[in-house]
């Protein structure tokens, strides 16, 4: 068994509308699911991805309204890497991000910037045989669009502690000084960096967890692998659009293994993903209560059709 790279990355926002404006507007991703945190259904869970809602391109956010800004530290992901297809794409993104009020920093074939709440991103020109996972946006030529995840970077005070679990249980392989999880479809890179002196604080603009992709029929077996590797995974949790297990890897980062199916089109027409509030079946009888709590948000894709 091999993990199929990064499935999704979940972070925290304190302002859902500003978050939508940046990720679905500025970055041009498609909102593919507007739902709620299944463990705390009084708050949004927003999913952005490529046009099909593919694993490997899916960044998600829990909204805790007015949450204080967090700070990444040891045991936390601190930067998300995205593929782009060419240096010309970086030229385009420098101008687009500056126009949106960001402050991108170019370094050869990489471009670093932060979202409005301080979450760091990096665009990387990378040659790979992996399928580009891009969304359609009227202001972003498809050849310049984001193409899915390339990597994630986390802080660790002792990265060697994680070696056995990564290599033996999860099947990561060392490549040019970093770890790679690569299956038959996709791959993703995993880096450890020296942590800052200050401890991390979970809050707006920080990553909550990173999920790695599993073939659907192998998901239960991955839980056994994680157990045998010495970690303590949760039972398999049915998230309706995929199945999940969660565990801390030895450096402290919260890992998830998420199945590739059933997918976001299990309950929505693929042509209309993310256009309305969707609840998993076990929460449907609470719809009126939940809708009364959530602040209405506007999807830029829908606004552009009017």
pLDDT of residue 192: 98
Domain edges within the chain: 6-305
pLDDT of residue 97: 98
215 upstream amide cis, omega within 30 of 0 = no
Report residues of the chain scoring pLDDT below 70: 306
Buried b (16+ CB within 10 A) or exposed e, 259-295: bbeebbeebbeeeebbbebbbeeebeeeeeebeeebe
Q: What is the residue whose two structure tokens read 């297990």?
A: 245
CA proximity to 239, closest of 209, 264, 214, 221: 264
* 6-305 carries CATH number 3.10.180.10: yes
CA proximity to 47, closest of 247, 282, 239, 253: 239
Find the largest Cα–Cα distance for the chain. 54
**DSSP SS3 for 292:** helix
Q: What is the residue whose two structure tokens read 């030229």?
A: 91
pLDDT of residue 127: 85
CA proximity to 231, closest of 247, 216, 252, 217: 247
């Amino acid at each position: 068994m091999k993990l199929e790279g990064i499935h999704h990355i979940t972070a925290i926002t304190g302002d859902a509308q500003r978050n939508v404006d940046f990720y679905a507007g500025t970055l041009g991703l498609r909102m593919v699911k507007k739902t709620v945190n299944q463990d705390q259904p009084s708050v949004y869970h927003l999913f952005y991805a490529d046009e099909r809602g593919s694993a490997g391109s899916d960044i998600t956010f829990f909204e805790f309204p007015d949450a204080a800004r967090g700070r990444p530290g040891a045991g936390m992901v601190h930067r998300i890497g995205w593929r782009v297809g060419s240096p010309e794409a970086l030229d385009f993104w420098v101008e687009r991000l500056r126009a949106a009020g960001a402050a991108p920093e170019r370094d050869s074939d990489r471009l670093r910037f932060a979202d409005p709440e301080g979450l760091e991103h990096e665009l990387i020109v990378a040659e790979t045989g992996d399928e580009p996972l891009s969304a359609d946006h009227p202001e972003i030529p498809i050849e310049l669009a984001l193409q899915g995840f390339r990597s994630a970077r986390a802080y660790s005070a002792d990265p060697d502690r994680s070696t056995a679990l990564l290599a033996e249980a999860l099947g990561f392989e060392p490549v040019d000084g970093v770890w790679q999880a690569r299956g038959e479809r996709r791959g993703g890179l995993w880096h450890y960096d020296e942590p800052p002196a200050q401890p991390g604080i979970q809050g707006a603009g920080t990553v909550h967890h990173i999920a790695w992709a599993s073939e659907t029929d192998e998901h239960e077996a991955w839980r056994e692998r994680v157990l045998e590797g010495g970690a303590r995974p949760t039972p398999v949790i049915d998230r309706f659009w995929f199945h999940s297990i969660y565990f801390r890897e030895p450096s402290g980062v919260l890992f998830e293994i998420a199945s590739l199916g059933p997918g976001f089109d299990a309950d929505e027409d693929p042509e209309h993903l993310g256009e309305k509030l969707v609840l998993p079946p076990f929460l449907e009888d609470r719809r009126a209560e939940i809708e009364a709590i959530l602040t209405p948000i506007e999807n830029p894709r829908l606004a552009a059709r009017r």
